[in-house]
Amino acid sequence: MTEHTVPALRTRLELPRRELGGRVRAALASIAPQTLFFVLLVAVWEGMARWLHSPLVPGVAAIFHELAKITLDGFAFTQIGITFARMSLGFLLALAFALPIGILAAVSRTAARFFEPGIILGLTVPGLVWALLCVIWFGVSMWSPVISVALGVLPSLVISVQQGVRSLSLETSEMARVFRLKRSVVVRRIWLPLLYAFLVSGCRVGFSIAWKVIVLVEIFGMSDGVGYQLNTQFSTQNVEGVIAWTLAFWIAMIAVEHAVFRPLDRHANHWKKVGGHE
């Protein structure tokens, strides 16, 4: 082994360590603000609980004890899974209607004017109204949460689709016209990829709306799910239980954000950058 070989080997060994160190530092930098938020939130709540000395504002230890009680045996995961399943079905139903309505409203002024009152109505009506009506109409069945979520989410998804189609450049539209592409090809090859980024953003907003609607439906007309558990804890005046179930679903939503929506958003933005570079 020559005197020049040893430094080269050291350099090769140090490169993976530097890359690993850089990734660790980047990961720590990304979670540091969120960790600081949680620490401050817990500190402020604990300070408020000690200052008020009220059973209506339980301490952090009591809340986490209740949270551990519903999660360690898997009960919370089961109930959250039920709620997520209902939300997802309602969300998919809304998406199935939002795509054709949004595309039609974007390409036709007449269609846009036709659907505009319904979109405004959907944005104006509170989720509580949809929840009550669906419970009255469909009773204790899967249709109540699915349709109420779909009605609550549909307007925002239609707007996202409409904005996505309208962002289509004039040059791209002219190219499709010159090459006489079929409408089905234009939709599949041009509009749908372009809608990808807009749909990810719309789904983020829609999912938060769906959560607010589904809880109301489960409170009024279901016998399981997170909303039902919140109502049960409320009926027994168990403040720790109400907060614990809220925290459990909050953590689940954060997990969905990082595991689903963040990767989709990065993929969508990467596609836009590649398309713009080309």
pLDDT along the chain (278 residues), means of 10: 53 56 62 81 89 87 92 91 91 90 87 91 88 86 89 90 74 62 69 74 82 87 88 90 92 86 76 47
Q: Which residue in this structure is represented by tokens 């997170």? A: 226
- At 89 the pLDDT is 92
Q: Which residues of 132-151 are buried (b: 16+ CB within 10 A; e: fewer)?
A: bebbeebeeeeebbbbbbbb
d(CA 99, CA 20) in angstroms, rounded, equals 43
Residue 278, classed as helix, strand or coil, is: coil
174 and 196 belong to one structural domain: yes
178 and 240 belong to one structural domain: yes
- At 276 the pLDDT is 45
* Cβ contact 158:115 at 8 Å: yes
20 and 91 belong to one structural domain: no
169 backbone φψ class: left, alpha, beta (φ>0; ψ -120 to 50) = beta
- At 68 the pLDDT is 92
Smallest CA-to-CA distance from 257 within 34, 5, 23, 3 is with 34
Q: Which long-range contacts (CB under 8 A, 24 or more apart) does 129-135 make?
A: 130/213, 131/213, 131/216, 131/217, 131/219, 131/220, 131/221, 132/216, 132/220, 134/217, 134/221, 135/217, 135/220, 135/221
Q: What residues contact 86, with CB distance under 8 A and at least 6 apart? A: 142, 145, 146, 149, 214, 217, 218, 225
86 and 166 belong to one structural domain: yes
Q: What residues contact 99, with CB distance under 8 A and at least 6 apart? A: 161, 195
User: What digits encode the pLDDT tens for the residues 146-182?
Assistant: 999 999 999 989 988 888 777 765 556 666 666 566 7
96 and 15 belong to one structural domain: no
| Predicted TM-score (pTM) of this structure | 0.76
CATH number, domain with residue 236? 1.10.3720.10
Q: Which residue in this structure is represented by tokens 């709620």? A: 83
167 and 246 belong to one structural domain: yes
* Cβ contact 213:149 at 8 Å: yes
87 and 154 belong to one structural domain: yes
- At 275 the pLDDT is 45
